[in-house]
């Protein structure tokens, strides 16, 4: 009994194989003799830009050596190495005793002058003093106020405050040390953004402008890339190197970038979206470039050669300036057997994994 079942199954399988073979032969006959098997890809838009490479060194957005305008002994320090500070924060103060006494004296003089002016003003209204006496009291008040502002200003010079937000470098003084006018107390840098200066050949002058995007990398931070924009283009061309100076600004929210880093710069000039085809789909003949498209001619897929004008090449894609329309199916693989006007068979790329699959004419044309 088991042998009979096995025999029937074997006969059925053989019959199915014959039917499948006959169907394949009929389909092949419909496609026409000598049809080349190809893969296609649609014409689509891609981002293109001219890439200009350069080298540069990072600088902080702002950098200053903190100094004092007067000489005296340090009485208090309110920061440490590497502290982040905000604008206006008090960092250091010098001895205030003598200067505080001068401020007190100037305030007393100014108060006395104001009181004298007010009395003279009242007497002038009663016409018991002359106008010249009132004018003299007004001059004395103005002089006393000016003197007060001067000593107050000198008192402020004895206190060092942060001129902007940033990070401090190493502290170079200690409490009790004597500092002279102009001695550096510490370095303060604003690293919220970084400046990157570099040079590009003058032939790219029309392609580089304020707002042009840049991408930068550094060996100090392998595997990381940073984006920025051009902020300034130099006003003159170097007559020796025939290059122009460019400055880009790089945001630095994570504070990873440091002044002095050596950077590799790529400018993305003239960014645009354009039609593109895979590089391997192009057949160069002399100075001209051609591609083959899959065209439906009376229900039969054929290869149609088309001359195109190409532009930039970028990441395996070629910019098409003219000659193609969006959505057209470009033959990318199997070109060795393709001839203009010859029949083709468009295969699905899944055939590479599944071992089979032929696309219909309607599918190849998006139908």
Residue 104, φ and ψ in degrees, nearest 5: -60, -45
**Full residue range of the structural domain in which residue 251 is found:** 51-61+191-270
Are 262 and 278 part of one and the same domain?
no
Task: Note the pLDDT of residue 347.
Answer: 82
Q: Could you give the number of structural domains in the chain?
A: 3
pLDDT at 67: 93
Which two tokens mark 54? 């350069």
Whether the CB-CB separation of 278 and 308 falls below 8 Å is answered with no
Same domain, 198 and 179: no
Instruction: Among 156, 185, 214, give the residue marking a domain's end.
Output: 185
pLDDT at 246: 95
Name 41's Cβ contacts closer than 8 Å, sequence gap at least 6: 277, 278, 281, 329, 330, 332
150 within domain boundaries? yes
Burial 295-324 (b: 16+ CB within 10 A, else e): beeeeebbbbebebebbbebeebbbbeebb
Q: Which two tokens stand for residue 132?
A: 């010249």
Q: Are residues 141 and 243 located together in one domain of the fold? A: no
In a domain, 245, yes or no: yes
157 and 247 co-located in one domain? no
- Domain co-membership, 70 together with 171: yes
The answer on 203 and 96 residing in a single domain is: no
Residue 1 lies in a domain: no
CATH of the domain at 343: 2.40.420.20
Domain boundary at 223, 248, 270, which? 270
**Please, are residues 298 and 89 in contact by the beta-carbon 8 Å criterion?**
no
CB 86 within 8 A of CB 156: no
**For the domain that residue 70 is a member of, what is the CATH number?**
2.40.50.100
d(CA 71, CA 167): 25
Q: Please provide residue 144's backbone torsions phi and psi, each rounded to the nearest 5 degrees.
A: -65, -40
CATH of the domain at 196: 2.40.30.170
Check residue 52 and give its pLDDT.
87
Examine the domain organization and report whether 70 and 179 are in the same domain: yes
Query: Cβ atoms within 10 A of the Cβ of 229, count?
Result: 14
Last residue of one domain, picked from the residues 185, 216, 239: 185
Same domain? For 173 and 284 the reply is no
Give burial (CB, 10 Å; 0-12/13-18/19+) of 98. Answer: exposed
Do 235 and 292 belong to one domain?
A: no
Residue 317, in any domain of the structure? yes
Those residues with Cβ within 8 angstroms of residue 216's Cβ, 6 or more apart along the chain or in another chain:
56, 196, 225, 226, 227, 228, 248, 250, 263, 264, 265, 266
Q: What is the pLDDT of residue 279?
A: 85
Residue showing tokens 């880093």: 261
For 253-268, the DSSP string reads TT----TT-EEEEEEE
Q: What is the pLDDT of residue 27?
A: 41
Q: Decide: 296 and 68 in contact? Cβ < 8 Å.
A: no
Token digits of residue 24: 């394949």
Domain assignment of residue 18, yes or no: no
Kindly list the distances between the CA atom of residue 286 and the CA atoms of 289, 290, 318, in Å, as whole numbers in the listed order. Answer: 8, 10, 17
Residue 288 lies in a domain: yes
Backbone angles phi, psi at 11, to 5 degrees: -65, -40
* Residue at 13 is within a domain: no
Overall residue count recorded for the chain in this entry = 367
Identify the residue whose tokens are 């250091």.
Answer: 92
β-strand 36-42 against 344-346: which pairing, if any? Answer: parallel
Residue 105 lies in a domain: yes
Domain match, 55 and 197 both: yes
Query: Along the 367 residues of the chain, how does pLDDT read in single tens digits?
Result: 443 444 443 444 444 444 444 444 444 444 445 678 888 888 888 887 778 899 999 999 999 999 998 888 998 999 999 999 999 998 998 887 665 666 677 787 878 878 888 888 888 887 787 888 888 888 887 887 887 777 666 667 778 889 999 999 999 999 999 999 999 999 999 999 999 999 999 888 888 889 989 999 999 999 999 999 999 999 999 999 999 999 999 999 999 999 999 999 998 877 778 888 888 888 888 888 998 888 888 888 888 888 888 887 877 888 888 888 888 888 888 788 888 888 888 887 765 555 544 444 444 444 4
147 and 95, same structural domain? yes
Residues 168 and 77 in one domain: yes
| pTM greater than the 0.75 cutoff | no
Q: Is 197:214 a contact under the CB 8 Å cutoff?
A: no
């Amino acid at each position: 009994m088991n042998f009979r079942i096995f025999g029937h199954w074997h006969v059925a399988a053989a019959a199915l194989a014959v039917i499948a073979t006959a169907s394949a032969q009929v389909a092949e006959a419909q496609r026409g003799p000598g049809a080349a098997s190809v893969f296609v890809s649609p014409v689509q838009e891609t981002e293109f830009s001219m890439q200009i490479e350069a080298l540069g060194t990072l600088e902080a957005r702002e950098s200053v050596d903190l100094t004092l305008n007067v000489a005296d002994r340090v009485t208090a320090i309110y920061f440490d190495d590497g502290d982040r500070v905000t604008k206006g924060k008090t960092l250091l103060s010098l001895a205030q005793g003598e200067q505080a006494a001068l401020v007190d004296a100037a305030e007393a003089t100014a108060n006395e002058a104001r009181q004298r002016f007010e009395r003279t003003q009242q007497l002038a209204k009663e016409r018991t003093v002359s106008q010249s006496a009132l004018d003299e009291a007004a001059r004395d008040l103005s002089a006393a106020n000016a003197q007060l502002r001067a000593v107050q200003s000198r008192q402020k010079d004895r206190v060092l405050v942060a001129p902007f937000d940033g990070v401090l470098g190493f502290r170079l003084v200690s409490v009790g040390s004597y500092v002279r006018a102009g001695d550096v107390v510490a370095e303060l840098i604003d690293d919220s953004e970084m400046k990157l200066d570099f040079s590009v050949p003058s032939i790219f002058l029309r392609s580089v402008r304020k707002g042009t995007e840049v991408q930068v990398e550094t060996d100090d931070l392998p595997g990381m890339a940073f984006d920025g924009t051009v902020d300034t283009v130099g006003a003159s061309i170097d007559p020796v190197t025939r290059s122009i100076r460019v400055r880009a600004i790089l945001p630095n929210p994570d504070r990873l970038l440091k002044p002095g880093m050596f950077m590799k710069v790529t400018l993305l000039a003239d960014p645009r979206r354009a039609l593109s085809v895979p590089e391997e789909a192009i057949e160069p003949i002399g100075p001209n470039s051609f591609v083959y498209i899959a065209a439906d001619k009376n229900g039969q897929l054929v290869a149609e050669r088309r001359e195109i004008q190409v532009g930039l090449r970028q990441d395996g894609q070629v910019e098409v300036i003219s000659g193609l329309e969006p959505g057209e199916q470009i033959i990318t693989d199997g070109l060795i057997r393709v001839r203009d006007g010859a029949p083709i068979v468009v295969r699905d790329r899944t055939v590479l994994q599944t071992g089979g699959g032929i696309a219909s004419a309607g599918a190849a044309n998006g139908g």
